[in-house]
């Protein structure tokens, strides 16, 4: 097979923008890179690998000659178009929630379960939710040696997880409130000020500037948010632990990009901080930033825009055997989305090239 | 005893300001209310109960004739002055960390362990750390019926927990960065922009605008932050559960006031969401805000400046028996600090009045 042709579907969104950057800066193994978006964005010219490419409207023919198509589009668009791309011969790598939990679609994080990508009866591969992905490289490395059994997770999720509208909203709210040095001290004053100053509806269900919002996704049985259920189900599937116990609380915070997670993880085997440091320092896409006495731990603002999963605040739980508490940061648009999809595409491309 | 005389030591700080408001608006059971602060603030005139009161400099004589003295001062100031006030006959109610874990000093949350306030051999009563306090009314109510055994907590802590300097810093950072609609998307750009624009040193170890910072307090053995250890040790003492298992990760967020906590709590007895709703709805200082399908859960911006502990997102953990996940918000300057101290003072005052 010659150099494979790649289609990026959803090339104009928050993840699509990062995706174009990623395929332009990583090793170039691609033939054509075709940009695809909704008819609204078709005809726009965007840069990929330093060259101008005209965006094409999503249609069955855009997949002709394409070997691999990466989809970053809403669930319902994926549901319709991913099977069309797959039927036309492309390996479809899908970022949406549509196919992730289907038993005949692998859910892949290349550092953790690369083998799963090869078993794709429907020609579809899913890439996980950004919140799950933010911790997978780190937890996968620890699991490989110590056998993970329980996860209790609280998230600190960036606004760009809700797309370009989420990012714009945080900037809008901060601009609207900046300079008011009394804001955030009286119940409801933030909402009232925003209602007065901003005409557009927010993609978030509450003010996000000077606030945290304990909700991400849609309503699920038992009062769970869909993002919390995804974190549980996807972690089980990626790590290959059907009985993994998971509880998560997902919270949106006024950070532009990079999700953080406070993770309480119990393993089958005894594990010390030194053990975890050894494993994490050796994991190729994980960066250990853990020297709290010297003020070293990751924060979103310090690591945003980069590829690795950052881990700090590793502590042996005082009261829980075989358990670590730790803090993880990962760029939700890169490893959490575009980068993981690009890595899967490279995995598939290399497998085809070597076949 | 006639109406007791009250001294507020540290009357000019973030908590002191709220304390003056609280004693001015709650039922007035006090004789004199004396304001005390460092010599630097002495001579200032501040309003209490609608009247101007001149602030006095901290000195042994300021406790003459005082029945109850509330201290909100740094640990080392408490260490020196709390015993002096107690020796001069005042019941000293201390907000600092100095005496909290001493076995002959009760650590009191009036809703949870009011009886403990009466047993004070040194004439000193401690009030808990604001992070612990933010969840105590709720967890105490649940514990009373279901017997709490384990807590895994992740905090979303407001900047005013670090005093007026913390609040000023967040406003400063937001003002310095507002209008830059690309900030927070490149590693280190927030810090660089702040270094260029703000001359003063931050009370936080990293940028707090457009960021979250996984550190609160000082360094403790095993990589723990002092705030995380306080949450463990103080919860055990207040709830009277010496074997309570606790793991916490404390994270500062860009919220002015009101701490939030994601809590994963295992009980001895089976507990459903309906059980928890019943208990929490009946707890006098707890407000249940839990209807996520209708977008009802607490956020800091919605409840700041009010007295109750707010609880939402109550879920039965899917994979953990007898376990709830929930989200709690409490104003760290009110219930988390000034209000709890005022409530202890009222408890002591009423006990004396009825003696």
- pLDDT (tens digit, 9 = 90+) per residue, B297-340? 999 999 999 999 999 999 999 999 999 999 999 999 999 889 99
Q: Does B49 touch chain A (CB under 8 A)?
A: no
**B353: pLDDT strictly greater than 90:** no
What are residue A109's DSSP bridge partners?
none
3 state DSSP class of B107: strand
Q: Does B306 touch chain A (CB under 8 A)?
A: yes
Please state, for a pLDDT cut of 70, what percent of chain A lies above it.
Answer: 99
Min Cα–Cα distance to chain A from B37, Å? 24
Q: Rounded distance, CA B97 to CA B126, Å? A: 8
pLDDT classification of A353: cutoffs 50, 70, 90? low
Min Cα–Cα distance to chain B from A33, Å? 25
Surface of B (265-284) touching A: CB under 8 A: 273
Closest CB to B249 among A232, A262, A303: A262
Provide CB contacts within 8 A for B318, sequence distance 6+.
Answer: A222, A224, A232, A246, A247
Provide CB contacts within 8 A for B295, sequence distance 6+.
Answer: A205, A206, A215
Residues B53-99: tens digit of each pLDDT: 999 999 999 999 999 999 999 999 999 999 999 999 999 999 999 99
Q: Rounded distance, CA B34 to CA B345, Å? A: 14
Q: Rounded distance, CA A37 to CA A39, Å? A: 6
Min Cα–Cα distance to chain B from A305, Å? 5
pLDDT classification of A266: cutoffs 50, 70, 90? very high
Decide: A44 and A12 in contact? Cβ < 8 Å: yes
Residues A105-128: tens digit of each pLDDT: 999 999 999 999 999 999 999 999
What are residue A288's DSSP bridge partners?
A311
Question: Which DSSP string corresponds to A151-183?
Answer: EEEEEEB-GGGG-HHHHHHHHHHHHHHTT-TTT
pLDDT classification of A199: cutoffs 50, 70, 90? very high
Min Cα–Cα distance to chain A from B180, Å? 8
Closest CB to B305 among A154, A185, A264: A185
Q: Rounded distance, CA A16 to CA B47, Å? A: 57
C-alpha of B215 from chain center: 17
**A305: pLDDT strictly greater than 80:** yes
* pLDDT score for B59: 97
Q: Rounded distance, CA B34 to CA A281, Å? A: 57
Rounded (5°) CA angle B296-B297-B303: 110
Active-site amino acid positions of A: 130, 259
**A91: pLDDT strictly greater than 80:** yes
Question: Which DSSP string corresponds to B42-91?
Answer: TT-EEEETTEEEEPEEP-GGGGTT-SEEEE-S-HHHHHHHHHHHHHTTPE
**Average model confidence (pLDDT) for chain A?**
96
Rounded (5°) CA angle B307-B308-B310: 135
Closest CB to B300 among A152, A211, A260: A211
Q: Rounded distance, CA A139 to CA A175, Å? A: 37
Q: Rounded distance, CA B335 to CA B341, Å? A: 8
Residue B128 CB neighbour total at 10 angstroms: 26
Residues A137-179: tens digit of each pLDDT: 999 999 999 999 999 999 999 999 998 999 999 999 999 999 9
Structure tokens at B296: 């009802």
Q: Does B154 touch chain A (CB under 8 A)?
A: yes
Q: Rounded distance, CA B321 to CA A298, Å? A: 33
Which positions in chain A touch B209 (Cβ < 8 Å)? 174
Q: Rounded distance, CA A38 to CA A21, Å? A: 20
Q: Does A289 touch chain B (CB under 8 A)?
A: no
Q: Does B195 touch chain A (CB under 8 A)?
A: no
Cα pseudo-dihedral A30, A31, A37, A39, rounded to 10: 180
Mutation target vs B (from A194, A211, A298; most B CBs, 10 A cutoff): A211
What are residue A151's DSSP bridge partners?
A246, A265
Q: Rounded distance, CA B118 to CA B97, Å? A: 20
**B225: pLDDT strictly greater than 80:** yes
Which positions in chain B touch A297 (Cβ < 8 Å)? 214-215
Structure tokens at B200: 């003063």
* pLDDT score for B355: 59
Decide: A256 and A332 in contact? Cβ < 8 Å: no
Residues A61-76: tens digit of each pLDDT: 999 999 999 999 999 9
For residue A169, what are the CA distances in angstroms to A173, A194, A199? 6, 11, 11
* Partner-chain contact B205 A295, CB within 8 Å: yes
Residue A168 CB neighbour total at 10 angstroms: 18
* pLDDT score for B351: 84
Q: Rounded distance, CA B99 to CA B77, Å? A: 12
* pLDDT score for A355: 60
Q: Rounded distance, CA B95 to CA A95, Å? A: 50
Mean pLDDT (whole number) for B45-58: 96
Provide CB contacts within 8 A for B186, sequence distance 6+.
Answer: A304, A305
* Partner-chain contact A262 B246, CB within 8 Å: no
Q: Rounded distance, CA B143 to CA B249, Å? A: 22
Mean pLDDT (whole number) for A314-331: 98
- Residue among B49, B16, B44 nearest B30 (CA): B49
Mean pLDDT (whole number) for B172-198: 97
**A351: pLDDT strictly greater than 90:** no
- Residue among B221, B216, B272, B265 nearest B244 (CA): B265
* pLDDT score for A1: 56
Mutation target vs A (from B14, B153, B184; most A CBs, 10 A cutoff): B184
Residue B188 CB neighbour total at 10 angstroms: 15
* pLDDT score for A14: 84
Could you tell me if the ipTM is greater than 0.90?
yes
Unique residue bearing structure tokens 């591969």:
A125
* pLDDT score for B140: 98
**A2: pLDDT strictly greater than 90:** no
Q: Does B178 touch chain A (CB under 8 A)?
A: yes
C-alpha of B106 from chain center: 16
Please state, for a pLDDT cut of 90, what percent of chain B lies above it.
Answer: 96
* pLDDT score for A58: 97
C-alpha of B333 from chain center: 6
* pLDDT score for B1: 56
pLDDT classification of A39: cutoffs 50, 70, 90? very high
* Partner-chain contact A210 B256, CB within 8 Å: yes
Q: Does A241 touch chain B (CB under 8 A)?
A: no
Q: Rounded distance, CA A49 to CA A60, Å? A: 25
pLDDT classification of A15: cutoffs 50, 70, 90? confident
Decide: B6 and B68 in contact? Cβ < 8 Å: yes
Surface of A (74-93) touching B: CB under 8 A: none
């Amino acid at each position: 097979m010659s150099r494979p042709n790649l289609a990026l579907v959803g090339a104009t969104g928050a993840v699509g923008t990062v995706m174009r950057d990623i395929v332009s800066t990583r090793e170039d193994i691609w033939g054509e890179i075709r940009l695809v978006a909704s008819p609204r964005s078709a005809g726009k010219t965007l840069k990929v690998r330093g060259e101008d490419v005209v965006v094409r409207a999503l249609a069955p023919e855009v997949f002709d000659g394409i070997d691999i198509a990466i989809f970053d589009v809403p669930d319902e668009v994926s549901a319709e178009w991913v099977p069309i791309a797959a039927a036309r011969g492309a390996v479809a790598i899908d970022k949406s929630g549509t196919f992730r939990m289907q038993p005949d679609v692998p859910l892949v994080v290349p550092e953790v379960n690369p083998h799963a990508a090869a078993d794709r009866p429907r020609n579809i591969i899913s890439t996980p939710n950004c919140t799950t992905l933010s911790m997978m490289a780190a937890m996968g490395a620890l699991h490989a040696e110590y056998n993970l059994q329980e996860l209790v997770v609280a998230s600190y999720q960036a606004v760009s997880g809700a797309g370009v509208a989420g990012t714009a909203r945080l900037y809008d709210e901060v601009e609207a409130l900046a300079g008011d040095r009394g804001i955030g001290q009286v119940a409801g004053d933030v909402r009232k000020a925003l209602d007065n100053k901003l005409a557009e509806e927010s993609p978030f269900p509450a003010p996000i500037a000077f606030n945290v919002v304990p909700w991400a996704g849609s309503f699920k049985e038992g009062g769970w948010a869909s993002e919390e259920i995804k974190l549980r189900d996807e972690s089980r599937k990626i790590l290959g632990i059907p009985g993994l116990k998971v509880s998560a609380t997902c919270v949106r915070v006024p950070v532009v990009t990079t999700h953080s997670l406070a993770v309480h993880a119990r393993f089958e085997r005894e594990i010390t901080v030194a053990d975890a440091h050894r494993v994490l320092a050796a994991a190729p896409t994980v960066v250990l930033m853990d020297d709290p006495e010297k003020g070293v731990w990751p924060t979103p603002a310090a690591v945003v825009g980069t590829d690795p999963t950052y881990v700090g605040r590793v502590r042996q739980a005082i009261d829980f055997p075989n358990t670590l508490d730790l803090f993880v940061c990962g760029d939700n648009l890169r490893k959490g989305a575009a980068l993981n999809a690009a890595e899967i595409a490279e995995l598939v491309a290399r497998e085809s090239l070597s076949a």
